[in-house]
Amino acid sequence: MEQKTMKALVYHEPGKISLDEVDVPVIKQPKDVIGKVTINAICTSDVHVMHGYLPMATPPLILGHEFCVEAIEAGSEAKDIQGNDIVIGKHYCVLPASFCGECDFCKAGNIAGCVNGGTYGVMQNGCQAEYVRIPDSHSGMLPIPEGMTDKQIVLLGDMLATAWFGIENANVEEGQTIAVVGLGPVGMCACELLTNYFGCKVVGLTRSQEKLDLALKQGVIVAGISPATDDVAARVAELTEGKGFSAVIETPGNQSSMDLACSVVGYQGIVSTIAIFGSAITIPMNALCYKNATIKMGVQQLHGIAEMLEAIMTGKISTEWMLTHSSSLDEIVKGYEVFGGSDTPDCIKWVIEA
Ligand SMILES: [Zn+2]
Ligand SMILES: [Zn+2]
């Protein structure tokens, strides 16, 4: 490649990020690919890294892990996720973490624990740059099918897959009424999947009337409850025949959202939290204990990718309506301020387009 330096969003120390000029990444291993980033999205996890909440993220570090690329250069052994050779010029959706597929963790199905890989923008340089190095391409490069756009698929690897993981943990069945606490991008993806893929009825719980209105307008919830204005217990009783919810998907991962989730779950219900926690919180143990309820959590394991890709292709599910804001890479710092700010309820997702 002729270009030697590029623009990249670099995390320098807690609270400090800047758009810098850095070296263009190069192939280091035979399974590496260099991709030109076509679209990427700012994630709450990126904002957590910026604030220094994730100690495993050591600066200087290029942020970002939700992205699609055009393949520019490929190592001699680089393959895509389907085992095919990487095609230069072709577009790929890249999953948020690379993993080797060979270590004990990977063999046990715990790819999040892979000793040779890690999440982009946390354990290795990420995608909020002009170019990105993708190690172990065979584990993370999903070819974008003919006729599909990068925009249709950019939320697949993290937002949708995280929602899928939370739904899996919640043991949902068709026709059930499920609660989703928090209607950020993962919450909206959970609503979209539960309604349009799993055939459930969804009740959204958030203090943001704007987000409830958007979810209702999109038809991904049947009802909304706002702790800011509603009598939560009365509304839950009304919507669940007095039983509470059999499953609650919790997405913000803060004290009030966890308290809310534990208060609305029903007898023998499941609170399935899919947040990454910015700080320690207290679980109201007796709220769960007296209901014989279960709490489940964890980091998604990239399940459901093929099923969701098919569902996007056939139009069964869509996430494009969640891409409320977009800009060029030059304005990414503003994107962090708006998406990561507390006073922008209309911003579900900020994407950077090349
Ligand atoms: Zn993410
Ligand atoms: Zn591994």
Radius of gyration of the chain (CA): 20
The ligand placed nearest to the CA atom of residue 110 is: 2
Same domain, 133 and 205: no
* pLDDT class of 2 with cuts at 50, 70, 90: confident
Residue 313 domain flag? no
Separation of CA 70 from chain center? 21
Q: What is the pLDDT of residues 318-342, one digit of tens each?
A: 999 999 999 999 999 999 999 998 7
CA–centroid distance, residue 175 to ligand 1 (Å): 29
CB 105 within 8 A of CB 5: no
The ligand placed nearest to the CA atom of residue 101 is: 2
State phi, psi for 185 to the nearest 5 degrees: -60, -40
- Mean pLDDT score of the chain: 96
pLDDT surpassing 90 at residue 176: yes
Same domain, 179 and 287: yes
Same domain, 26 and 148: yes
The ligand placed nearest to the CA atom of residue 45 is: 1
CATH number at residue 65: 3.90.180.10
CA–centroid distance, residue 149 to ligand 2 (Å): 30
The ligand placed nearest to the CA atom of residue 40 is: 1
Across 124-128, 220-224, 287-291, least confident range: 287-291
User: What DSSP designation does 129 have?
Assistant: B
DSSP string, 308-320: HHHHHHTTS---G
Residue at which a domain ends, from 296, 311, 345? 296
Same domain, 122 and 196: no
Same domain, 133 and 164: no
pLDDT surpassing 90 at residue 246: yes
Number of structural domains found in the chain: 2
Residue 133 domain flag? yes
CA–centroid distance, residue 102 to ligand 2 (Å): 5
Residue at which a domain ends, from 279, 296, 313? 296
The ligand placed nearest to the CA atom of residue 121 is: 1
CA–centroid distance, residue 186 to ligand 1 (Å): 9
Q: Which residues contact 234 (CB under 8 A, 6 or more apart)?
A: none
Question: Which pair of structure tokens corresponds to residue 152?
Answer: 């249709």
pTM of the model: 0.95
The ligand placed nearest to the CA atom of residue 41 is: 1
Residue 315 domain flag? no
* pLDDT class of 78 with cuts at 50, 70, 90: very high
CA–centroid distance, residue 49 to ligand 1 (Å): 11
State phi, psi for 139 to the nearest 5 degrees: -95, -15
Residues β-bridged to residue 247: 270
Q: What is the pLDDT of residues 13-60, one digit of tens each?
A: 999 999 999 999 999 999 999 999 999 999 999 999 999 999 999 999
Q: What is the pLDDT of residues 202-217, one digit of tens each?
A: 999 999 999 999 999 9
CA–centroid distance, residue 234 to ligand 1 (Å): 34
Q: Please tell me the distance from the alpha carbon of residue 16 to that of residue 52, in angstroms, as a whole number.
A: 9
Same domain, 141 and 181: no
Residue 309 domain flag? no
Q: Please tell me the distance from the alpha carbon of residue 270 to that of residue 252, in angstroms, as a whole number.
A: 17
Same domain, 233 and 202: yes
pLDDT at position 172 is: 96
Same domain, 117 and 192: no
CB 142 within 8 A of CB 94: yes
Give the CB-side neighbour count of residue 194, counting CA atoms within 13 A. 36
Q: Please tell me the distance from the alpha carbon of residue 130 to that of residue 103, in angstroms, as a whole number.
A: 31
The ligand placed nearest to the CA atom of residue 105 is: 2
CB 17 within 8 A of CB 336: yes
CA–centroid distance, residue 109 to ligand 2 (Å): 9
CATH number at residue 202: 3.40.50.720
Same domain, 255 and 268: yes
CB 269 within 8 A of CB 178: no
User: Domain span at residue 256?
Assistant: 159-296
Residue 28 domain flag? yes
At 282 the three-state DSSP class reads coil
At 224 the three-state DSSP class reads strand
Residue at which a domain ends, from 277, 296, 315? 296
Q: What is the pLDDT of residues 182-201, one digit of tens each?
A: 999 999 999 999 999 999 99
Which stretch of DSSP H or E encloses residue 107?
helix 104-107
CA–centroid distance, residue 353 to ligand 1 (Å): 16
Same domain, 251 and 139: no
Q: Which residues contact 56 (CB under 8 A, 6 or more apart)?
A: 122, 123
The ligand placed nearest to the CA atom of residue 112 is: 2
Residues β-bridged to residue 92: 69, 143
pLDDT at position 341 is: 86
Same domain, 251 and 274: yes
Residue 318 domain flag? no
Same domain, 189 and 244: yes
Interval 86-100 mean pLDDT: 96
- Please give the C-alpha separations between residue 217 and each of 151, 214, 220, 221, 223, in angstroms, as whole numbers: 21, 5, 8, 9, 11
pLDDT at position 23 is: 98
Residue 305 domain flag? no
Q: Name which residue leads in pLDDT, 280 or 201.
A: 201
CA–centroid distance, residue 241 to ligand 2 (Å): 47
CA–centroid distance, residue 66 to ligand 1 (Å): 6
pLDDT surpassing 80 at residue 83: yes
The ligand placed nearest to the CA atom of residue 120 is: 1
Residue 311 domain flag? no
* pLDDT class of 110 with cuts at 50, 70, 90: confident
Q: Is the peptide bond before 284 cis (omega within 30 degrees of 0)?
A: no
CA–centroid distance, residue 26 to ligand 2 (Å): 22
For the chain, what percent of residues have pLDDT higher than 90? 91
